[in-house]
Amino acid sequence: MGDIITAFANIGTIYLEDERRVRNKAYEYQTIKTYLLDIESKTIEPSVNIARDDLIITRFGVGANSGNLFPNVPFEPKNLQKDFPKFVRGILKANKNFLSFFDEDQIKKNEILQKVAKIDDAFFDELKEEIMVLPKYAKEKGTRGKVATYFSLSFHQKPLSAYFKDIYEKFLTKEETSPLYGYDILTNKKGVGGDPHLAFCSVNELPTKMKGVKYRLLPLSEESAKKIKIGFNVMDKNLSHNFYGLKMAMLPILLQDDEKLYRDILSIMERTVKGEIKEIEESEIFIDEMLEEVAHQEKNLPVLNTILFYQKSNAAVDVLLQIDDLLPSYISRVSRTMAKYNIKAFKSDAGGEESIYLQNIFEERLDIMNLLLSTQKIESDLLVEKFSQLLYWGNINKKYAYPLDWGKYFNGYYAGRSIDAIVRYVGLFKELDKIRGDLKMEKEPVMGEETKENIIETLLQENEFLDNDVLKTAYLLGMLAAALSNWQYAVSQNDSFNRWLNNFGAITKERLDRLWKKEEETVRKLTSVSGHGNRAANRIQEMLIEYAPKAFKESGVVKSSYVSLAFAMGGSDFGKYIKEER
């Protein structure tokens, strides 16, 4: 947490003079459609031309129920349908916050304040139906930048905040505490008592009896607390973007003291988030567009990046993942390695037919980002289990899964869950040094003329994954299954063996014996029907006689995920190397 606080303070120092813009959420959006409800005529008019410094959108405090400073509130039609009274309460809460800056005499002497003070729930009764059917602003296709829809109380076609900008000034400059004895954790100077009012590094919610230690837990001066608050707001509004329902932000940490360079780096990030810098084509994005674009712009600069993934609910901030000390060159290296294997982190319209996705083997997107960008590694056994799930279901997320059809698999139908795809995944993780443990996947065998007659033996011997008799037996059974599927269809256009295999369930060590018996029975039937044998099937059977008995007697544990993968490898290799050699 200390590194984040320091990063926020550094950013806040740069933007301190621009606090009015930073604290006003209106500047976060490229376009804002605002429904202006006139407090005098009670008419509602839409506008997209309100100046940002007139439409002041900022929260009154850090608590979830603190409300906004002015009655400018987000407009979300689906939320109105669920709870219209909550929408009204948000406006009334903002009115109360706004009026708290005035005494009774001031309110009585001001026409606008008088009208605001009289607004209550009943004010919205006759407006409810009209408000409920107002549409949300729809972002036009191809438009870059953030858009939003807001609802504001107004007077003569201007939001109330436009008439009371001095209140915003008072709000920004107010001091809440007096200096206490202690030393600021950022400057080591005497005098603390400041609070940045960030929900994940604030102590506002302490029990009453503990208020005395509030400023000892996070000892900050008023100046440092203000910088941290501004730095967070800059990150949230200018240096972050949406990441599948979360927010992702980059915090630069300079390796030398150079304010101008730091300003330049922050400008690069801000312009990238806004879409003003776009040198990498969408089809070339393999991890995340903002991440890769910023890394490209930062190359050769003395900077590290901290990546934050967080979630906001009102004022609450839940930091879900923090990745520290990322060099821009490392981000670019990861992206280039993924491009080498044509693996993308997440599915998108820019993905080609040959692309495969990490999203298919990880249930959580943050797990993907953490593995790719941090020092974390994945256990080899866990990775093989993921590959087994990919094989059987096509996706580790059951929401997008569909069962395997072995007949289609043997004929190369499932490119995304094929052995070739799995080998690419392993290649990526090995090159990035992300696997803990030894995982040897099949390598392309050397096929000279002298090996063609002994091709099955060559495949079996050169496959380093098959390091015991159980896996070799599973491999040969997979190869024989593919041969039988091909042979049966050629003889009778029948796929009864495939249907049996689809209903057989997971291929495990304990079930290999039953599978072998079924395959032997099928060989006999096809030989009888066709009037001749099958050279490939016969040779595989001969090799099974050598390995299967030892496999069935094996007392050690061989994980089912390894057995399943070995079976699939055999079926894949039959189609790849043997099918035309029958």
Count of positions (residues) in the chain = 582
- Contact by Cβ (8 Å): 234, 11: yes
Average per-residue pLDDT in the chain?
87
Q: Kind and range of the H or E element at 192?
A: strand 190-192
More confident: 273 or 431: 431
Two tokens at 511? 């079930």
> Which is higher by pLDDT, 130 or 61?
130
Residue 297 scores a pLDDT above 50 = yes
- In the 8-state DSSP scheme, what is residue 574? I
CA distance 485 to 498: 6
Give me the pLDDT at residue 202, please: 47
180: which strand partners?
192
Q: What is the DSSP string of 38-52?
A: ETTT--EEEES---T
Which residue blocks in 143-275 are alpha helix, DSSP H?
A: 165-173, 214-217, 222-238, 259-274
- Structure tokens, 281: 């084509």
CA gap 247, 163 in Å, rounded: 33
User: Over 70: is that where the pLDDT of 376 sits?
Assistant: yes
Residue (of 172, 199, 196) closest to 64 by Cα position: 199
- Say if CB 567 and CB 475 are below 8 A apart: yes
Between CA 356 and CA 415 the distance in angstroms is: 9
Q: Which long-range contacts (CB under 8 A, 24 or more apart) does 534-542 make?
A: 534/483, 534/487, 534/582, 535/582, 536/456, 536/483, 536/574, 536/578, 536/581, 536/582, 537/480, 537/483, 537/484, 537/487, 539/456, 540/456, 540/476, 540/479, 540/480, 540/483, 541/480
Nearest to 569 by CA among 414, 441, 401, 392: 441
Confidence check: pLDDT of 549 > 50: yes
Query: Residue 582 — very low, low, confident or very high, per pLDDT cuts 50/70/90?
Result: very low
CB of 194 closer than 8 Å to CB of 182: no
**Cα three-residue angle 175-179-183, rounded to 5 degrees:** 125
Q: Which of 3-17, 26-40, 270-284 has the lowest mean pLDDT?
A: 270-284
Q: CA nearest 15: which of 226, 302, 251?
A: 226
What percentage of the chain carries pLDDT values higher than 90? 52
Provide the pLDDT confidence category of residue 271 given band limits of 50, 70 and 90.
confident
Distances (CA, A) of 276 to 137, 241, 290, 325, 362: 22, 14, 11, 26, 32
pLDDT at 581: 45
Which is nearest to 68 in space by CA: 54, 53, 58, 56? Answer: 58
Query: Mean pLDDT, to the nearest integer, of 343-352?
Result: 81
pLDDT at 137: 83
Of 79-88, 274-283, 373-382, 451-460, the range with the lowest mean pLDDT is: 274-283
Which pLDDT score is estimated for 318? 83
What the block records as the tokens of 265 is 């780096």
Whether the Cβ atoms of residue 543 and residue 456 lie closer than 8 Å to each other: yes
Q: Which of 262, 260, 216, 267 lies closest to 238 in space, CA to CA?
A: 267
> What pLDDT score does 451 carry?
55
Query: Is 382 strand, coil or helix?
Result: helix
pTM, to two decimals: 0.76
Q: Return the closest-CA partner of residue 455 out of 566, 568, 579.
A: 579
Cα–Cα distance for residue pair 394/389, rounded to 1 Å: 7
Q: Tell me if residue 351 falls in helix, strand or coil.
A: coil
